[in-house]
Amino acid sequence: MKLAILGTGSIVKEGALPALSHVPEIKITAIFSRPHSKETAEQLAERYAIPAVYTDYDELLRSPEVDFVYVGLVNSVHYEYAKRALLAGKNVIMEKPFASTADEVRELVDLTLGKHLYLFEAVTLLHMPNFAAIKEMLPKLGNIRAVTANYSQYSSRYDRYLKGEVLPAFDPECSGGALYDINIYNLNCIIGLFGAPDEVSYHPHRGFNGIDTSGTVLMKYPEFTAAALGAKDSDSPGFVTIQGEKGWLRVLGAPNELKAFEVSLHGGETVTRYKLNRYSHRMVHEFQEFARMYQTADYEGMKAGLKVSLAVIETAEKARKSAGIVFGCDRK
């Protein structure tokens, strides 16, 4: 895989680039930035031995040294940059959230399948050995009766927001907010395990510009209700708990890292802890999995992932609209 990185923000600097240094199957051949961030892109290129720096996206898309792009840009432009790449015959790795609306996701999926390209969403937890083990463990818990997830992390940008400075993470024009930025991991975990819910509602705390700085999504399933809390305006230890008639399971820590989980079954006196992930950096497993699917032509595996991505964004969109949260894309 010859991969071009789009963006120079924290998800690229602290996430994708360090993780990809552990994935030799993927060669980073280019990095793209807007002109005002070119110096940062050049610094990253030097640090990670990336041979080409682009500020012209069309020029990058014409390069034969690029067959994949990783979209690590602000949420609101995910759809635009991915669509342009697909139309140019390039495969795409999309940073979460996939896009702003379900219609955008459907269009990108249809375009991908029509051109027989590859399109992946980089949701860390879905590709971790711990997550696969949790899926295998679920039947032992019996009939599920309750699911609760909490991923809360006080944002480094929240103090500036309180002073009236609106950065993309808190800007509805950029498809920001706690639901799409942080609670989206809870939705991926729950939907990845149980599928799409029958009913969805969102109960947020909204800031001065209408964006959700925290909130809880209620997701109704036939046998249980799941509650997913995400916050950028306050802190809490992260966790996911799954309660069944025959036992319980608890993820220890933030779901985006899914470092460990515990299980207790009725009739047993002990709690068993599992730590099966192979890497300390949370993004390594997903990139390895994308490389594997591409190299082995696992197109059905890719399509299965896209079904989860669509179900998640459908749920997120229903949730935010139930709370009256309007993004810039909604007015187009």
pLDDT-derived band at 135 (thresholds 50, 70, 90) equals very high
* Residue pLDDT, tens place only, 62-77: 999 999 999 999 999 9
Question: What local confidence, expressed as pLDDT, does residue 269 receive?
Answer: 74
**Block residue for tokens 């990095």:** 31
**What is the radius of gyration, based on Cα positions, of the chain?**
20
Q: Do 191 and 203 fall into the same domain?
A: yes
Whether this model's pTM surpasses 0.75: yes
- For residue 57, the enclosing domain spans 2-124
With a cut of 80, say whether residue 268 has pLDDT above it. Answer: no
Q: Is the separation of the CB atoms in 247 and 169 below 8 Å?
A: no
Q: What is the CATH number for 324?
A: 3.30.360.10
How is residue 204 written in tokens? 């947020």
Domain boundary among 124, 152, 181: 124
Q: Do 115 and 137 fall into the same domain?
A: no
* Residue pLDDT, tens place only, 17-62: 999 999 999 999 999 999 999 999 999 999 999 999 999 999 999 9
Question: What local confidence, expressed as pLDDT, does residue 270 receive?
Answer: 84
pLDDT-derived band at 109 (thresholds 50, 70, 90) equals very high
Cα–Cα distances in angstroms (integers) from residue 330 to residues 174, 175, 179, in the given order? 11, 10, 16
Q: Do 191 and 206 fall into the same domain?
A: yes
Burial class (CB in 10 A: 0-12, 13-18, 19+), 80: middle
In a domain, 274, yes or no: yes
Question: What local confidence, expressed as pLDDT, does residue 332 receive?
Answer: 75
* Average pLDDT in the chain: 97
Q: What is the CATH number for 80?
A: 3.40.50.720
Arithmetic mean of pLDDT, 196-213? 98
Q: Do 157 and 269 fall into the same domain?
A: yes
